Chains A and B, each alone.
Chain A
Amino acid sequence: MVGIHPFVTIWLSTALLFGGLLAWAEVSRNQLDDPDPAFQRTGFLLPEEKLRAPDVLPGYPRAGHRLAVLFVRSVDGQMLFHDLALQSDFDSLADIVLVTHDGIRPNIVQGLDAIVADRDEAIVNAFGLHRPMDGGYPVGYALVDRDGYIRHRTLDPHCFGMGHNYEIKALLRAIP
């Protein structure tokens, strides 16, 4: 019987280990994630003056002001104080508009400049957010610069809280 070279064993073991881990990573993804993970939370800005923000939010974007648009399916029954309090310091960096699919308003609106319903999904489609894996309403955000151009947009199932605030703030600070 011909013995298997130890290096073949190393290669096969490594292939099986990482193949298994990659398969686990794929099947355990959040259904609110982008089907293509490369486009989710990229960490960089879109090019300047390329994507004009759509005129679908009454009064926004305001000239000379940055805008952060947060898209969620619903805030019904959620205790928003903690999450919104975390985000309240965004308002020194940008106008903040919360867009909800079901149109239900949060109980606590501190830190939000406007709350807009998007039952027909026209707003989220105009901003060009990808559909998540489950095919439903996208949960994420879009950031607009002072000249009215979209500079970042992404799905982010945990854009409320979950330690993602540092990321949105870093992006907003980098946007002119």
Chain B
Amino acid sequence: MTRASLKLCGYCALFVLAEVLLYASYRHHDARFHWFLHFLVGASAALLLMALIAWRRRAAAPFPLLWILAGHLFAMTPDFLFLFFSIIHRGWMDVFLLHIQAHFIPGRNLTWYLIFLLSLGAYLKVVASLPHSHGGLTSTR
């Protein structure tokens, strides 16, 4: 196995590990709904932002999985405030990628799943149009 392959495996494994830990952070709070919700919202936002940057700069953003993880963490921020500081949710927390209103979108997580797939498609389409585009989501550069 080449050094590049090992680097890629480690990068993807770290992303998966981080997401597993985030899922575990919801272990007392209906994880299957809330983890999916904020992952799909945060990942969609990150993918659209990366697509926009790639389109403007004609170069893919480095470490796309880190962008997705960052989007997820940002979308989850009010839940961290609740979990670690017992700060309940307030209306202003919608600044964190519609943290509260996102729960009530018609179709719930199915709608966010479709938005996520559209965002992923948009991102991949932009990256595919770039010269030397081979990495997709697993690029480490």
Contacts and interface: CB of A to CB of B under 8 A. Distances in A.
A30 B99 CA distance: 24
Interface residues of A, number: 34
B115 to A, nearest CB: 12
B29 interface: yes
Interface string B61-103: 0000000000000000011001000111111000000001001
Interface string A18-48: 1101100100110001001110111111000
Given A10-B137, A28-B32, A42-B103, A37 B88 contact: no
A37 B30 contact: yes
B128 A11 contact: no
A29 B109 CA distance: 14
Interface residues of B, number: 35
A113 to B, nearest CB: 23
Contact of A11 (B29, B87, B117): B117
Interface of A: 5-7, 10-11, 14-15, 18-19, 21-22, 25, 28-29, 33, 36-38, 40-45, 162-164, 166-167, 169-171, 173-174
Given A7-B125, A43-B89, 13 more contacts: A11-B120, A18-B116, A22-B110, A36-B108, A38-B103, A38-B108, A40-B30, A43-B79, A44-B89, A163-B28, A167-B29, A170-B87, A173-B86
